[in-house]
Chain A
């Protein structure tokens, strides 16, 4: 059971995030659901790289031959987390701009752009 449980949780988070995005009536809520979907990829990456009984891959005071978890996926997730915040800020500035033009943040009522 422990072999697949983290991946089931990843699938659950993705489905909940997508469901929130589909049924959202507010652009801010939609952006937060996008954040939730992105967080599922972090859990997936770290879950793939985990080694049972492994320690964190930092060898300042332990021997380098101790069994450690995979550091490559941690490096990928690390930069991803910080960059996601900046991209979310950019999306929020688009939402602010949309509010200025249309006066509403409801995705069903935002008029399609002309031209």
Chain B
């Protein structure tokens, strides 16, 4: 028997691999053609037989427990329906959801993340149902502010963001603003700032008194997005933010603008003057929250999700939207819907799924969620049982004002699939003095224009989101 020499074996293997490679074909499977389900004649569950809906979500902690209660209530109301809930971690869900929806045993109702790489890709592949008919049947289109639904809207094929059909719905909201330490503010003899100038002045006063003016840790990179937007939104009109992020008018928007330059210059100026925690690039977000709770820092610019850490009924902390440039200026804040509930295009019970989504987002569900420090954006809804003078009551009052003004601006990292990386990394470089404010803008603009140029051709739509 002849021995196969190592060289010859490698040659054989190489030829085999090459043969396989040439035989291999285009990866991926064609996008599914999705038809919008018709408007249901009656709302609620009309199916009589037993129905099991598989739900995939990433809720944890108190919200997760509230969900279990809501789900039980739904099953009690419709005894023929069983909700099989599968709890996944956030990153698990992000990595698995697309594959699961495209696979042989897809879930029926899922929490899909917003933005190009997530919901955009799922819409493009035809994995989610357009919910417009359900929205009009159940009144979802009027339940929350238009921008909130725009954040979950895409045109067919996932070509445009912020317009077209609704592919997910939630009443849960997120709002970024300024948390403040009431005791410290009093001790420093400062009033609550009404303008950006007041705010800057209070930073200087706090710094002189040896306090940390803004508690900030940016190792995790995403907190930088909120810090940046909080300043940027003082200078640019709200419409610019929506145009830029949704990219509906992408021929005419740019990141390189005098307003953005001013905002970036202010950020670097604040860093130089020591208005942020020393070495924010070496401090984790969790640590920064812990420090703020312990009383380090006059302000912290972040979202409503830390209310639970502060204690919803804590009277020592307050919350405001970042004050406007001029007194009485428009109130604008970064935020958006929480994870929306979407229906898989392959679900055999879309009507039941829609009834379930409605149940999870009605005013009763809103009332249940509010106690956990969550924000419900249901229009005309006023939560009961909230103690006045607490951080939660401040938060809900601000959220209600922003909701009624439809002034919740989407997260800026939704602008392109890679904008999260570009914005967070460039912002860290801006903080660390590695780049000038001008270079910061051009780095972000390079990412933005590269993506917009790569998008499928077609005249950009200039009509407002809705």
Do A and B associate with each other?
A: no
Residue positions of A touching B, CB distance < 8 A = none
Residues of B participating in the A interface, judged by any CB pair closer than 8 Å: none
